[in-house]
Amino acid sequence: MSMISTSLSGPKSATSYCAPEFSGLRRLCPNNNTNNSHSPSFLRFTSPRKPLRRVLAMAGTGQNGTKESITKLISDLNSAKMESDVDVVVAPPFIYIDQVKSSLTDRIEISAQNSWVSKGGAFTGEISVEQLKDIGCKWVILGHSERRHVIGEDNQFIGKKAGYALSQGVGVIACIGELLEEREAGKTFDVCYQQLKAYADAVPSWDNIVIAYEPVWAIGTGVVATPAQAQEVHVAVRDWLKNNVSAEVASKTRIIYGGSVNGGNCAELAKQKDIDGFLVGGASLKGPEFATIVNSVTSKKVAA
């Protein structure tokens, strides 16, 4: 099922690689400290949110999985103990959605990994939003880095897809995130803002949108953003929403983090005030580990 690492581009591992140490605007520090845990004061943003957003844990993406492995995963998830105040969503490959929907507990919602940009019709090989609704999908992931950087979808096309899905009542997990070279060039915020603007230009409302910040260099690489790096961008995204949409949307919209999240690093990330959950690829292949990530909401509550 979903719980699968995204891999159109083959295995992604870089265990000896270190998280890039740049802020969105410029280098944070000149030394080689890989545990950077502070933002420079000139990057501080006001955060208008109250920490009352429900956490969302999303297992998703990729082409991996077989009927057999998915059956096992469903069984593990059905028997896992998950904190009740977390929304849990899984995004299997299209062809397994029906299998998942019919055997997974209703406590977990289903998402697709993509959808067509407008009303369904003669678009061979595409899946329409209408079909997703028909099969029981409440959500769709749009703008994932692999759609952007492997398939070549641009900001405007992705924005249009989001607008259409929302107009049909399907919630959108709206992905954003910078490439490594963009981060190193100090363009993280600019890239994220452009991606956000394309969504903002096309969506009728933000009521049913979750933003997933996924730095591309962290997806499937084993190189997770530090809690400070993730929080810095999440605050910037919230600030952008405040300035460009409304204070209410900024305060209500959930911003989840994705990119090499696992059972070992989720608790520290979850403590960050503006991280409202996770989009998990590889670590969601294992039901118990995904449950650990879902339950990291408890460390958020303790930190609040």
Those residues whose C-beta lies under 8 Å from the C-beta of residue 76, and which sit 6 or more positions away, are 286, 287, 288
Alpha helices in 26-118 (DSSP H): 67-79, 97-103
Judge whether 138 and 109 are in contact, CB under 8 Å.
yes
Taking CB positions, which residue lies at the least distance from ligand PGA?
A: 281
Single-letter amino acid code for the residue at 149: H
Binding-residue pattern over the window 51 to 70 for ligand PGA, x denoting contact by CB under 6 A: ----------x---------
Q: Report if residue 3 touches ligand PGA, rule: CB under 6 A.
A: no
- By CB under 6 A, which span of 31-39, 40-48, 74-82, 276-284 interacts with ligand PGA? 276-284
Q: How far is the CB of 11 from ligand PGA (least distance, A)?
A: 11
Those residues whose C-beta lies under 8 Å from the C-beta of residue 217, and which sit 6 or more positions away, are 20, 178, 179, 180, 183, 223, 259
Residue closer to ligand PGA by CB (options 5, 111) is: 5
- Separation between Cα atoms, residue 260 and residue 118, nearest integer Å: 32
Residue closer to ligand PGA by CB (options 88, 250) is: 88
Catalytic residue among 109, 178, 182, 214: 214
Q: Which two tokens mark 96?
A: 């397994």
Q: How far is the CB of 288 from ligand PGA (least distance, A)?
A: 16
Residue closer to ligand PGA by CB (options 11, 30) is: 11
- Counting residues that bind ligand PGA (by CB under 6 A) gives 15
Among 82, 166, 261, 266, which residue sits at the site for ligand PGA (rule: CB under 6 A)?
261
Binders of ligand PGA among residues 193 to 252 (CB under 6 A) are: 214, 219-220
Among 65, 143, 163, 258, which residue sits at the site for ligand PGA (rule: CB under 6 A)?
258
Residue closer to ligand PGA by CB (options 23, 284) is: 284
Q: Report if residue 177 touches ligand PGA, rule: CB under 6 A.
A: no
- Separation between Cα atoms, residue 206 and residue 188, nearest integer Å: 23
Judge whether 113 and 93 are in contact, CB under 8 Å.
yes
Q: Report if residue 279 touches ligand PGA, rule: CB under 6 A.
A: yes
Q: 293 exposed, middle or buried (CB, 10 Å; 0-12, 13-18, 19+)?
A: buried
CA angle 298, 300, 304 (to 5 degrees): 120
Active site amino acids: 144, 214
The residues that touch ligand PGA, with contacts defined as CB under 6 A, are 5-6, 61, 214, 219-220, 258-261, 279-283
